[in-house]
Structure 1
């Protein structure tokens, strides 16, 4: 029995000679907020559509809730809520009426409508025609629709697209509470790196259809930490560290140590000081997920 709620094996989608998604091995654990990151055109939406059975893979396997999507598609999709690309709605109906249409289709209790309207904070706007909704309200209505059946898995494709800063903040806070409050696992795709930085517990980075990183978000930050040392004798300090197997480089008048833990930094400091060289400053360069993302993807793709 796999520990993953979503698992793909060599998932591939090819259009002619072009690979939109190539040999993708996603692993999403229960209760995670999995941030699926990549530039526009990297293959995010195609991947999510394959998970939802909307696009047929060229090759590879998809397992969701430990079941093969090919064989158990109907049962699996009953437990997934999704918002892919922009939400669909009937402009001439109210927010409540739009949700009632979907509720009848998926056959869930009527009380769910009021509950999800409360979750996305649309209760006061439920009797307003959707064509008079702002972009942010339409987006929240789309999320409300995806929550109607209280799914085990929620898949959101760029849910903050086109929203103003206040709207982005609202959606972010909403998503963050779903795993603990409702036991949901969330996959959220975005090219807004700052969003994923603040919301995700796990990250997958896709570039030109290839998964180039997948792990805890802390590991991504930690693995890329940089410590700078400003010293009185740069060349001699560099030689001392090299001879003691502490890897460093010289950049902009500083010694730069990559991927060093606290003990290694303390050791480097002690070695330099005991050789009568002054250490003026030791500082960690705090790097955003955006910096790391740009480095991993070779500053490729539009952001």
Structure 2
């Protein structure tokens, strides 16, 4: 696999975002599923674009690595920093030799012959993601890069997981929480012919939309989100809890009631490498 990165956040966006905090990385909350409907031509274009992202970005990865890349694309579709379509998200900046969000859209990879069996596997992963499958270990990650490189922005965002040869990140604090993923799917996919350019959104528009759905505690170790207008319309409550010393290695996934007895939980909360200290759970 070539050394690559899904385009990271701009310096202008990070200048306005909350500062990273250790507590952000202690709990990973799965993203909302993609449960949108589209007409057949648009649904097929969405599948083609997501399959391309999985194939060209993670062809040599095991299935979990491919699922993780697909999840990043789905997360971006629901995030106001990106297009509200799958193809628009994948092909943002694709007419530029630099600055494209996914390098395969601007580096000549699309002209190369595809491997049929690898393409079929990528299509299966993409189809599952569009049908609502959520790859929980990457949470609300919207950025990644291979372990072979270290982009400048990596230290300014929150590490979520390392899956295969890719390291995944989200924006810090509430900007990377479920409350920030309020964008609705357009239900229509752009027709990408003749090198159509998908322009990035302005930083001011991104900030205004994100901060309309979250409460940002700048400099705080724990950020809270207001009730989000997310695809699931589910409220998110952040609760500080003590993480037992037993959570010191690997990833433990707790479904339903958290082991701390903090009350009845819903969905999945992943406590990873936490040690003793404070984190937050979503319930």
Q: Under TM normalisation by the shorter chain, which class is it?
A: under 0.3
Structure (1 or 2) with the greater strand fraction: 1
Q: Which structure would you say has the larger Rg? A: 1
TM-score w.r.t. length of structure 1: 0.25
**Higher RCO (C-alpha under 8 Å, 6+ residues apart):** 2
Report the structure, 1 or 2, having the larger helix content.
1
